[in-house]
Amino acid sequence: MNIAVFASGRGSNFSAIVKAVKKGGIKANLSLLLSDNPQAPVIGRAKRAGIKVALIKREDFSTKDDFEARIIEHLEENKIDLIVLAGFMRLIGPGLLKKYKGRIINIHPALLPSFKGTQGLKEAFNYGVKLTGVTVHFVDEEIDHGAIILQKAVRIEENDTLETLEAKIHKIEHLLYPEAIRLFTEGKLKLEGRKVGISNP
């Protein structure tokens, strides 16, 4: 099975996935990093790990459809079976969603369906909830809406700052995302509408 990671930023989750693949925790090929940001540190991480990089900038295309058509070309060239979003700061359009239905997953720094969107962690902290966490889910047409694969709670302590909470969230992400990918690559996830069944985890 061939995996592509889409990322626009630092790439800490990308590195956690690379580590899991190299240690044999994920028995699949991490074949491609796709980024839309030429300044993204994740590109350097991929090159150091010996993973192929595709840089596709939205501004190079007149329409989003053309942009995604080029992405699909790269995915087909590399025979990608699973798309893993790891800080990819663009919404996935209908063409890509249709072609890879049930094969695109995302990680979110909150316990969905609460605190959706790009500021989920900060909003949970500012709201004053005592419990937040991490969610891995399938991607569908709505933002942070697809069927949930795994979740893990993180308690917000009285002395936590946004920075310490972020560090705790990242620590959980780096464990939970490789586990969700492992379950997918081993054929242990069954997507039925808005529910995911996990067999013999």
Q: Which pLDDT value is given to residue 144?
A: 83
Q: In Å, how far from its chain's centre is CA 152? A: 15
The amino acid occupying position 161 is T
Render pLDDT for 33-86 as a digit per residue (tens, 0 to 9): 999 999 999 999 999 999 999 999 999 999 999 999 999 999 999 999 999 999
> How would residue 106 be classed by pLDDT, with cut points 50, 70 and 90?
very high
Which residue in this structure is represented by tokens 């993204």? 40
3-state helix, strand, coil in the chain (%, to 5): 35, 25, 40
Please give the pLDDT value at position 15.
97
Domains and CATH numbers, the chain: 1-100 (3.40.50.170), 106-201 (3.40.50.170)
C-alpha distances out from residue 41 to 28, 49, 148, Å: 24, 13, 29
The whole-number pLDDT of residue 34 equals: 98
pLDDT confidence tier of residue 24, bands split at 50, 70 and 90: very high
Q: What pLDDT was estimated at residue 201?
A: 72
User: What is the structure's pLDDT at 14?
Assistant: 97
For residues 43-79, b (16+ Cβ closer than 10 Å) or e, as one string?
A: bebbeebebeebebeeeeeeeeeebbeebeeebeebe
The per-residue pLDDT for 89 is 85
Q: Note the pLDDT of residue 200.
A: 78
Q: Which residues are catalytic?
A: 108
pLDDT digits (tens, 9 = 90+) for 135-169: 999 999 888 889 999 999 999 999 999 999 999 99
pTM: 0.94
